[in-house]
Amino acid sequence: MIQHENEWFYALTKDRTESADTLEKPSMRGVQRSVVDKYSDQAHFIYELLQNADDVKATSVRFRLEENGLFFIHNGTVHFTVSDPQSEDADTNSGTLGHINSITSIANSNKKEVSIGKFGVGFKAVFQYTQTPHIYDPNIQFKIERFIVPYLLDADLDWRETQETVFWFPFDHKVKRPRESFEDILEKLKTLDLPILFLSHLKSVAFDGSGVSGKYSKTVKDQRPRGDMAIQRVTLTLDLSGKKTIKRLLTFARRGGNELPHCVGYALRADGRLVPIDRPAFCFFPTKEVTNLNFIVHAPFLLTDSREGIKAGVKHNQELVQQLAQLAADSLPILRDEGLIDDGLLEIIPYDEGSFSELDDRRKISFKPFYTSIKSKLQADTLLPAADGVCSGKANSYWASDTELVELISDKQLAQLTGMKDARWIFKSRGKKEVQNANRTLADFIDGGDAREWMRKEPNLIVSSLDPEALL
């Protein structure tokens, strides 16, 4: 650090010492507890560290878990800074607040509301396991005591690479034993949920501890634009002590007015076909917000303080859900063009309107627009699965009561019977009666229930109500 930065650092230490004195008063002790203990998810801070690493443009990170503490190492190119503590208000507003100022504050950073940001309250989750985080940066080496007070360290780590930043979290918590901390963190490292799928820079996360090693990696293939959408085929791999788990996704992204993308992701089997995936809504990382969708959605939502929930009744979030729903609907013609729409579509689309909360529910964010947008798209476009990867439009589509009827009457014969030149059977492997018996809600979604919204209304053309005996 240069001279004035040294002066700012020592002034910051003095300022934060005064603040710590206040926080440690009996009347204020609950403040620290409320910040640290707001996360129901143990070792949540791991996601926060990944978030911060991505924010400073790291492409790879690694965790080294030891019996007495945890090392976190990344290769980010943005390094720690300090700014004048006397001008923190102005610096926060202008986006020039020093990183050390931010990490030793409570809810004061350059972070924008809708960005993942750097060193927000989330970093404080490390205090579930440590009292004295150490940071070894190319520019400066310091530790934090008393929750917010920074002190310069006398020496750097002799093994730190020149451009690496290293965090050291000794397991010196007053209550949690080192072994308990070790086990919590190792279990979390082994079970991170798609940790780098929606990050901009981070491509790999490695960890090792107690003979267990693992690596999460992301490979992007077939990246291309389609209108205002960016399409990617993504392969995510977890190699856990030699045993690999692979997830494949096809993602569609658009950028909103805040320039941060919102995204819809469909899971793919090894053969490339669509498969349902049950995940909560993502805001860079998984929240605890259930979507009742069989695909993944991600957007820069405004979250509750714990990052576990999406704020309900907030216009920004409601608009993002609408944009995501439209993106999901607009992705369907591309899935069709890729030959990915078949009878398995029934396992992907949201067909049960009753599974979504109402739009005006201020207690819970509603994902009902997905139901509305996707149904409208299916009704208006040529998207209903017929045969051999071909899709049909609503006007020419007929759903047989039994699969035997499809085997008995070809599409050509169906066209002759109905007088519709392009008539096709849809959902050939799933007869209407079979679906009605198993899932009436799905059956009504497909053919419109009593209104027959999906079928032609002339009695002699409602093929979905016919059976082999009637046709013969």
Taking alpha carbons only, the member of 188, 195, 191 closest to residue 298 is: 195
Q: Which two tokens stand for residue 373?
A: 């947008």
What percent of the chain has a predicted confidence (pLDDT) above 90? 72
Instruction: Report the topology of domain 3-210.
Output: Heat Shock Protein 90 (3.30.565)
Residue 193 φ/ψ, nearest 5 degrees:
-100, 105
pLDDT tens-digit map of 5-29: 999 999 999 999 999 999 999 998 7
pLDDT value at position 448?
65
Residue 219 has pLDDT above 70, yes or no: yes
Structure tokens given for 11: 């002034």
CB atoms within 10 A of CB 219: 12
> Nearest-CA neighbor of 144 among 156, 133, 128?
133
Counting residues of the chain whose pLDDT is more than 70, the rounded percentage is: 90
Give the tokens for residue 1: 């650090």
What pTM, to 2 d.p., does this model score?
Answer: 0.89
The candidate with the shortest Cα–Cα distance to 165, out of 263, 84, 73, 98, is 73
CA gap 416, 298 in Å, rounded: 47
State how far the Cα of 269 lies from the Cα of 250, in Å rounded to an integer.
11
Give the pLDDT band of residue 330 (cuts 50, 70, 90).
Answer: very high
Name the residue ranges covered by the structural domains of the chain. 3-210, 221-380, 384-471
Q: Are 370 and 323 in contact (CB under 8 A)?
A: no
Burial of 223 (0-12, 13-18, 19+ CB in 10 A): exposed
Q: Is the pLDDT of residue 459 over 90?
A: no
Task: Please choose, from the candidates 33, 31, 67, 63, the residue with its C-alpha nearest in 3D space to the C-alpha of residue 47.
Answer: 63
Residue 277 CA to residue 267 CA, distance in Å, equals 6
Q: What tokens does 44 get?
A: 């949540």
Give the pLDDT confidence of 334-385 residue by residue, as tens digits: 999 999 999 999 999 999 999 999 988 888 999 999 999 999 999 899 999 9
Is the pLDDT confidence value at 402 over 70? Answer: yes
For the cut 90, the answer to whether the pLDDT of residue 472 exceeds it is no
Q: What is the mean pLDDT of the chain?
A: 89
pLDDT tens for residues 403-436?
999 999 999 999 998 888 889 999 999 888 999 8
Least confident interval from 126-140, 198-212, 271-285, 385-399: 385-399
Query: Higher model confidence: residue 282 or residue 95?
Result: 282
pLDDT digits (tens, 9 = 90+) for 148-167: 999 999 999 999 999 999 99
Give the residue-averaged pLDDT of 244-252: 97
pLDDT bracket for residue 449 (50, 70, 90): very low
